[in-house]
Amino acid sequence: MNIKKQINIFIVEDDASFTTSLISEIENSFYSIPIRIHAFETGEKCMEKYDELKPKVIILNYYLNSKYPEAANGIEVLDRIMNKKRKAEVIMLTHEDAIDIAIKSFKHGASDYVVKTETQFKKVNYSLFNLLKIMEAKKEALKYKYFLGVFLGLMGLLTGAIIAIQIYSPGVFNK
């Protein structure tokens, strides 16, 4: 991957030991990519820093209100993220392997859905790797789109200039 600019990744998880393990796994797996991981126990704390830090990816627990009953759940936080001008890619995490939760997460804008099992960290890293590759490809596509626009604009100007010369000085190209 050819990522040069630092990528902010948010982890929104109310289980501190899980968060510590996940951070360690991501940092070990993506040591060559300039990432910075920010951890939050609630969605509210995550959203307080969202506009300032502009995360590219958020790993979001579905059940955020187990430790703090008044806290927003993962779907509510996901909705807040999707309402932002700059949307982050969201990987939804949950202990439950339930299709209705997965569908609900995708309908609300999640990019991926990972069930917490014995392979949870590998699945998160795989999802994160794919999202980073997609972001890099989109960035490259925008660059080529810009260059194509400039090229077509210049070709249009050149064509227009040739037509104008033919109209106002018809003999210039006939010599």
Dihedral sign computed on CA atoms, order 15, 100, 118, 130: negative
Give the model confidence (pLDDT) of 17-59 as tens digits: 999 999 999 999 998 889 999 999 999 999 999 999 999 999 9
**Do 87 and 161 belong together in one domain?**
no
- Supply the range of the domain harboring residue 126: 7-137
pTM exceeding 0.85: no
pLDDT at res. 2: 53
Q: Is 2 within the bounds of a domain? A: no
**Do 128 and 165 belong together in one domain?**
no
Domains contained in the chain, number:
2
Six-digit token pair at 163?
């037509």
pLDDT at res. 79: 94
pLDDT at res. 109: 94
Q: How many helices (H) and strands (E) does the chain have?
A: 5, 5
- Could you give phi then psi for residue 6, rounded to 5 degrees? -60, 135
pLDDT of 83 strictly over 80:
yes
